[in-house]
Amino acid sequence: MTTGRPVSPAVRRRCAGLVRRLARTVGIPAPFELAGFLERWRAQRAGRPVELLALDVDELPRGTCGLWLEMPDRDVVGFPAGASRTHRDHIVLHEVGHMLAGHHGVLGGGGTAALLPDLDPEMVRSVLGRSVYSDVQEQEAELIASLILHRSLRTGAHGDDPVVERLRRTLDD
């Protein structure tokens, strides 16, 4: 989700620092491969997994592309089942960005945990209706997702591609 407001230099610096630390401690695969990245991140997070959940578009709250349920023993990230791989990766990394920045997801209680992985769509809508992030938190999550994917391009097999170089310069500022 984007906020339409400019990202402050302080938010840019904070997010860039978080992604640099992530690259050092977990590594960002090039080319980007979501499952491997999430598995390495799980190891870094003392075994706390991120479970992916493909949802029908009508199971997501209106105006959102993804969701994060913060369970006692794992994190569940939902995304539209029909999303392309690139879009899915960005949605999942946006939710990972919330986690990395120290935001809190919708807390899933015992009832939610018992229903996973077959969440009832009405329950998802009612739980997610209580999830609200500030503009700055949304900017942080979106920027972190973009920076992670940008790093995988920069260190990938794209060599001296001028488009990739321009993206690198723009995002590194």
**Every domain of the chain and the residues it spans:** 9-172
| pLDDT computed for residue 61 by the predictor | 73
Q: Is the pLDDT of residue 9 over 80?
A: yes
Q: Give residue 170's pLDDT band: very low, low, confident or very high (50, 70, 90).
A: low
pLDDT in tens, 14-38: 999 999 999 999 999 999 999 999 9
Q: Give dist(CA 145, CA 97) in Å, integer.
A: 6
pTM (2 decimals)? 0.77
Q: Give dist(CA 87, CA 120) in Å, integer.
A: 24
In sequence order, what are the beta bridge partners of 68? 77
pLDDT in tens, 35-47: 999 999 999 999 9
Q: DSSP letters along 93-127, please?
A: HHHHHHHHTT---EEP-HHHHHHTTS--HHHHHHH
Q: Is the pLDDT of residue 139 over 50?
A: yes
* C-alpha closest to that of 148 among 27, 54, 40: 27
Of residues 124 and 5, more confidence is placed in 5
SS3 157: coil
Q: Give residue 171's pLDDT band: very low, low, confident or very high (50, 70, 90).
A: low
Q: 4 exposed, middle or buried (CB, 10 Å; 0-12, 13-18, 19+)?
A: exposed
